[in-house]
């Protein structure tokens, strides 16, 4: 979607609208269509946030990961929507008991979209270049890798110390395999190994993929996928009802009745790692006082967001339920306006005035609830709704804000709470040590327990607030099968997407 170091914050915002729904949880991918899929079909999918360019190497932003990873570019391993790690360009792998040696078996017969063969040298070059090029996104995620070598089809990564996050990191940008010496203009073109080939890009409007006829795996089930970027939900609804799009992601659940009215669409809901995060600038001023931050947390009715926006679930800590280390932390900051008033009185704070900086494409429901809740305990909240570039400059880069809201979509991003330079500004040595121990753990359960311990401390410190854990809400045409419905803001693997003529 923002890593240990300060990458561009566009990866926070895979969708520019809140992903909420009133439906029950759905599976991923969606159920099969009842009519025979058409291999020549073109499927149109509504997305929200369009990328400014296509350079997956250097341009951060979940808008790129969402469509390019898995579909165009691949790594040795991949992740399922349910967050399981599975083979991709590597057919299998082994990890030594001490967690220091990873051996991957590279598939044979894989070609890039330009027809060139994938070689072990390409893998070594890609990983080494990523590691050695700070300008490339996620280069720091390979920091523990001491050497990368190839022997025949075996790729060996030797680590300086164990890193429980390595395999996960390799499912993302850190692990993407590019062609050594490629001259493609990554800003406007692409050359990967995935099941689709980039066909056309109309900046800010649409991107189209066509089936890779030479794909090493099972071929895509549609001939073409067109991503139409439609930020406004009402406009997306109109496009769906007019038959212009087959799938609407990032949909507003409050429009469920309208989109399902004629029987051509159904709303499907899946889990996500989207975290509606309220950041506190705690370096100075009243928010440097933990009592004030805790008062704000206990003044906020988290259920109100889920109810008003018709989806998701409450969240009281930095780790969502899909991620390792999740624990229900509702006991840390239960909704209690009386307790909030007492905390403010104890801190000697009266007539507190704060400003909430929020990107202007989010629903006004978020600030409305916050203004009302905080006013009830004597805090006046001014809302500064800004364009995203202003948010990036003022909040993310210059850290000039009181409170800020954005939807953090990236999975397993607890690292941001262990990084005092991140825009949260949270600095706790114990949390940083627990996170380091989690990375060094060679047992998954132990790593998760350490993360849970660290997350509880973050919540008890009132380092921020998490208004809700969003859901992936997708309106899917009844002639569409295989559409993912879990974590679609972060990844949208369309290898199984199918469309019928019925």
DSSP string, 413-435: -GGGGG-TTSTT----HHHHHHH
Gap between the Cα atoms of 430 and 245, Å rounded: 49
- Residue of 275, 64, 49, 89 lying closest to 171 (CA atoms): 89
Between 6-10, 134-138, 401-405, 459-463, the lowest mean confidence (pLDDT) is in 6-10
Give every CB contact of residue 89 below 8 A, 6+ residues apart in sequence: 74, 75, 76, 106, 107, 110, 118, 123, 177, 193
pLDDT > 70: what percent of the chain? Answer: 93
* Helix 429-440 / helix 444-460 crossing angle, nearest 10 deg: 170
pLDDT of residue 6: 31
CB neighbour burial string for 384-395, b if at least 16 within 10 angstroms, e if fewer: beeebeebbebb
In a 10 Å sphere around its CB, with 0-12 CB exposed, 13-18 middle and 19+ buried, how is residue 138 labelled? buried
- Residue of 136, 141, 9, 11 lying closest to 66 (CA atoms): 11
pLDDT of residue 34: 53
pLDDT > 90: what percent of the chain? Answer: 82
Tokens 């804000």 belong to residue: 401
pLDDT of residue 348: 96
The mean per-residue pLDDT over the stretch 88-99 comes to 96
457 neighbors 395 (Cβ within 8 angstroms): no
Concatenate the DSSP letters of all residues of 476-499 into one string: EETTEES---SSTTT----TT-EE
pLDDT band at 502 (very low <50, low <70, confident <90, very high): low
The mean per-residue pLDDT over the stretch 469-494 comes to 93
Dihedral sign, Cα of residue 409, residue 474, residue 227, residue 67? positive
Gap between the Cα atoms of 384 and 373, Å rounded: 17
The mean per-residue pLDDT over the stretch 344-354 comes to 96
Can you say how many angstroms the Cα of residue 401 is from the centroid of all Cα atoms in its chain? 23
- Tokens found for residue 238: 């109109």
The mean per-residue pLDDT over the stretch 84-100 comes to 96
Give every CB contact of residue 35 below 8 A, 6+ residues apart in sequence: 479, 500, 501, 502
The mean per-residue pLDDT over the stretch 132-142 comes to 94
CB neighbourhood size of 313 (10 A) = 14
- Residue of 67, 55, 88 lying closest to 170 (CA atoms): 88
302 neighbors 316 (Cβ within 8 angstroms): yes
325 neighbors 319 (Cβ within 8 angstroms): yes
Backbone torsion region of residue 258, taken as left when φ is above 0, otherwise alpha when ψ lies between -120 and 50, otherwise beta: alpha
CB neighbourhood size of 306 (10 A) = 20
Does the model's pTM come out above 0.95? no
The residue with greater pLDDT, 34 or 167, is 167
Cis peptide before 29 (omega within 30 of 0): yes
C-alpha neighbours within 13 Å on the C-beta side of residue 56: 25
Tokens 């905390």 belong to residue: 343
Gap between the Cα atoms of 81 and 270, Å rounded: 10
Gap between the Cα atoms of 147 and 491, Å rounded: 29
61 neighbors 10 (Cβ within 8 angstroms): yes
- Residue of 186, 185, 144, 190 lying closest to 167 (CA atoms): 144
Q: Is the pLDDT of residue 8 over 70?
A: no
pLDDT band at 388 (very low <50, low <70, confident <90, very high): confident
DSSP helix/strand/coil, 303? helix
Q: Is the pLDDT of residue 341 over 80?
A: yes
- Tokens found for residue 127: 């990983």
């Amino acid at each position: 979607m923002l890593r240990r170091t300060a990458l561009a914050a566009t990866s926070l915002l895979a969708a520019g609208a809140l992903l909420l729904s009133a439906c029950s949880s759905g599976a991923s991918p969606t159920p099969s269509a009842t009519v025979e899929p058409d291999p020549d079909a073109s499927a149109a999918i509504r997305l929200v946030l369009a990328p400014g360019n296509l350079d997956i190497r250097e341009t951060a932003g979940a808008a790129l990961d969402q469509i390019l990873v898995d579909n165009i570019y691949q790594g040795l391993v991949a992740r399922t929507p349910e967050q399981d790690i599975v083979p991709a360009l590597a057919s299998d792998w082994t990890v030594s008991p001490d967690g220091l040696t990873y051996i991957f078996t590279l598939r044979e017969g894989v070609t890039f979209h330009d027809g060139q063969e994938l070689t072990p040298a390409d893998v070594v070059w890609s990983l080494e270049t990523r590691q050695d090029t700070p300008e490339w996104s996620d280069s720091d995620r390979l920091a523990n890798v001491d050497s990368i070598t190839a022997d025949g089809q075996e790729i060996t990564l030797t680590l300086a110390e164990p890193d429980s996050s390595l395999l996960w990191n390799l499912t993302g940008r850190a692990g993407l395999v590019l062609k050594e010496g490629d001259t493609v203009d990554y800003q406007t073109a692409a050359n990967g190994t995935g099941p689709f080939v980039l066909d056309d890009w109309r900046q800010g409007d649409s991107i189209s993929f066509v089936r890779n006829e030479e794909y090493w795996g099972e071929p895509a089930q549609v001939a073409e996928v067109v991503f139409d970027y439609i930020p406004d939900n009402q406009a997306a609804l109109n496009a769906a009802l007019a038959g212009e799009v087959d799938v609407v992601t990032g949909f507003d659940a409050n429009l469920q009745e309208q989109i399902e009215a004629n029987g051509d669409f159904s709303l499907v809901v899946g889990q996500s790692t989207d975290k509606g995060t309220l950041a506190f600038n705690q370096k100075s001023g009243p928010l440097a006082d933990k009592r004030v931050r805790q008062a704000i947390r206990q003044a906020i009715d988290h259920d109100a967001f889920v109810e008003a926006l018709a989806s998701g679930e409450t969240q009281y800590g930095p780790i969502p339920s899909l991620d390792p280390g999740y624990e229900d932390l509702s006991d840390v900051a239960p909704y209690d306006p009386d307790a909030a008033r007492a905390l403010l009185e104890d801190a000697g704070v009266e007539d507190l005035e704060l400003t909430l900086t929020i990107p202007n494409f989010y629903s006004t429901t978020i600030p409305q609830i916050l203004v009302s809740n905080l006013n009830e305990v004597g805090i006046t909240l001014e809302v500064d709704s800004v364009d995203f570039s202003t948010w990036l400059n003022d909040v993310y880069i210059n850290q000039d804000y009181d409170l800020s809201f954005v939807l953090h979509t990236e999975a397993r991003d607890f690292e941001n709470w262990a990084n005092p330079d991140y825009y949260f500004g949270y600095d706790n040595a114990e949390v940083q040590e627990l996170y380091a121990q989690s990375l060094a753990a060679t047992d998954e359960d132990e790593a998760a327990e350490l993360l849970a311990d660290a997350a509880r401390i973050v919540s008890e410190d009132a380092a921020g607030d998490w208004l809700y854990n969003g859901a992936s809400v997708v309106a899917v045409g009844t002639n569409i099968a295989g559409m993912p419905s879990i974590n679609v803001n972060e990844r949208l693997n369309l290898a199984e997407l199918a469309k019928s003529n019925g």
